Amino acid sequence: MKVLVVGGGGREHTLAWKVSMSPLVDEVVCAPGNGGIRQHARCVSLSAEDVDGQVDLAVREKADLVIVGPEVPLVGGLIDKLEEAGIPAFGPSAQAAQLEGSKVFSKEFMKRHGIPTAAFTVHQDLDSALAQIDRKSGPCVIKADGLAAGKGVIVCANPDEARQAIREILGEKRFGEAGSTVIIEDLLVGEEASILAICDGKKMIPLIAAQDHKAAYDGDSGPNTGGMGAYAPAPVVTPALHDKIVKEVLTRTIDGMAKDGTPFRGILYAGLMISGDDIKVLEFNVRFGDPECQPLLMLMKSDIVPILMAAAKGDLGDSAVEWHSGSSICLVLASGGYPGPYEKGMAISGLDDAGATENVMVFHAGTKLDGDALVTAGGRVLGVTGIGHNLGEAAKCAYDAADKISWDGMRMRRDIGHRAL
């Protein structure tokens, strides 16, 4: 069979790599791909956000399955249009994708279906939002309603910071239309973790827990990013807590979406705050997280293709996922300046040596070919991912490999996995 993977980041490289290992698959096509995905797939230069173009490509290639990586084409209705064209596609409909596409939709959905989350208010008017801050005294979180590439959430330590964030989002239109509405919610305290589930609209297969590192710098300091590293499994999610999350979050979400007439197929990603036995949902995503995808798929023993195909067709049946023992960790190597302005086109050295490191995969996120040279083409450039019998062993493999790679301005966090280690 032929599989089309839509996207060009580290998540899509990981998916293309995993799909290419399936004995069911003859060819993987990736659009647009990047400088590293070409090792595992034939890349086609086509924007992931070009919904009609992606449908035309899938039809032209006679794809047997399409896996959509990023959130923007999902919210834009790519799955709906692929299904109209008769092509099995893994991901949620545009309506179901509003769980990620609109934080207001998501918060109101959670409130309606009894899914634990932080108290919140919704504002479109600058004055009403500032007035709400005047009624608060402690820290809070300001969220842009729409998609903002993982950067639309601002944690504010005090009311002055909150007012500044609101003025930037609502007044200065920092995130454009994505910030035309904001949510002000209570700051939750605890340890973050993520649990993803493969869903068919009625049933699901929960995956093992992972933990992302959103802050730019060591010690969880600095601005939020799309993610500077992740590891799995996350020991903060005990077996008992995993069962509770499945019951109180994932099951209620799947049942609630079906009850509301928007059955959810695809990856349901629950970002959680955990404090003892208390769990609250920070956010939902509707696709594999990046970089959580990398350690999760490194640990996945099962062939992913028949599972995703079954979910795409709405019937997981008795599908199950087997896992390798041990742990996996992904280190994001980023451009200097990220998540702020950064330069592109820096020549990357050391990839062959890093790739030859035992128990390590180097997944490309923001790279491209410039002639014969591989150069940087994004803020998050590479995801060096190691696997080991335990997290310490996996981290040593990954850091040993990462230290062989360099380009002008390259940086990475040196404390990924610190909570578990």
Q: Exposed, middle or buried, 118 (CB in 10 Å: 0-12/13-18/19+)?
A: middle
% pLDDT > 90, the chain: 92
Cα separation, 273 vs 154, whole angstroms: 16
CB contact at 8 A, 398 and 212: no
243 part of a folded domain: yes
Read off the tokens for 22. 């399936």
Question: Which contiguous run of DSSP H or E holds residue 281?
Answer: strand 278-285
Confidence of residue 142 (pLDDT cuts 50, 70, 90): very high
Q: Does position 149 have pLDDT exceeding 80, yes or no?
A: no
For residue 347, name the pLDDT band (cuts at 50, 70, 90). Answer: very high
Closest residue by Cα to residue 227 from 412, 397, 408: 412
Q: How, if at all, do strands 327-334 and 380-388 pair?
A: antiparallel
Whether residues 164 and 239 share a domain: the answer is no
Asked whether residue 227 is assigned to any structural domain, the reply reads yes
Domain count of the fold of the chain = 4
| 346 belongs to a structural domain | yes
Which CATH number do you get for residue 271? 3.30.470.20
> What number is the average pLDDT over the span 194-207?
97
Same domain, 160 and 221: no
In Å, what is the CA distance from 405 to each residue of 236, 295, 354?
A: 31, 20, 7
Q: Is residue 28 part of a domain?
A: yes
Tens-digit pLDDT profile for residues 66-106: 999 999 999 999 999 999 999 999 999 999 999 999 999 99
Question: Residue 34: which of 364, 289, 346 has the closest Cα?
Answer: 364
Position 262 in a domain: yes
Domain end (from 245, 277, 312): 312
Name the residue type at position 411: R
Q: What per-residue string of b and e applies to 148-177 under the rule 16 or more CB within 10 Å gives b?
A: bebbbbbbbeebebbbebbebbbeeebbee
Q: What are phi and psi of 117, to 5 degrees?
A: -155, 170
Domain limit, last residue, from 136, 151, 180 = 180
Q: Do 351 and 381 contact (CB within 8 A), yes or no? A: no
Residue 417 lies in a domain: no
| Containing structural domain, residue 385 | 327-402
Q: Concatenate the DSSP letters of all residues of 342-373 into one string.
A: ----PBPB-HHHHHTSTTEEEEESSEEEETTE
Residues 348 and 377: their CA atoms lie apart, in Å, by 11
> Of 90, 105, 137, which residue is a domain's last?
90
As a whole number of angstroms, the distance between CA 160 and CA 139 comes to 10
pLDDT at 148: 83
Contact at 8 Å (CB) between 310 and 319? yes
The answer to whether the CB of 142 falls within 8 A of the CB of 156 is yes
Q: Do residue 269 and residue 372 come from a single domain?
A: no
User: 420 lies in a domain?
Assistant: no
Query: Are residues 331 and 307 part of one domain?
Result: no
Domain at 162, CATH number: 3.30.1490.20
Q: Which of 200, 201, 270 is nearest to 241 (CA)?
A: 270
Please indicate, yes or no, whether residues 297 and 197 belong to a single structural domain of this protein. Answer: yes
**Is 176 found in the same domain as 283?**
no
Tens digit of each residue's pLDDT (9 = 90 or more) over 374-419: 999 999 999 999 999 999 999 999 999 999 999 999 999 999 999 8
Spatial separation of the C-alpha atoms in residues 399 and 414, rounded to whole Å: 8
Using CA atoms, how far residue 158 sits from 8, 139, 151, 387, in Å, is 38, 5, 19, 40
What CATH number has the domain bearing residue 335? 3.90.600.10
The verdict on 336 and 397 lying in the same domain is yes
pLDDT tens for 156-187 read 999 999 999 999 999 889 899 889 999 999 99
Q: Residue 366, Cβ neighbours under 10 Å: how many? A: 23
pLDDT value for 152: 85
Q: Assess whether 78 and 129 both reside in one domain.
A: no
What span, in angstroms and rounded, lies between the C-alpha atoms of 48 and 57? 11
For 254-308, what is each residue's pLDDT tens digit?
A: 999 999 999 999 999 999 999 999 999 999 999 999 999 999 999 999 999 999 9
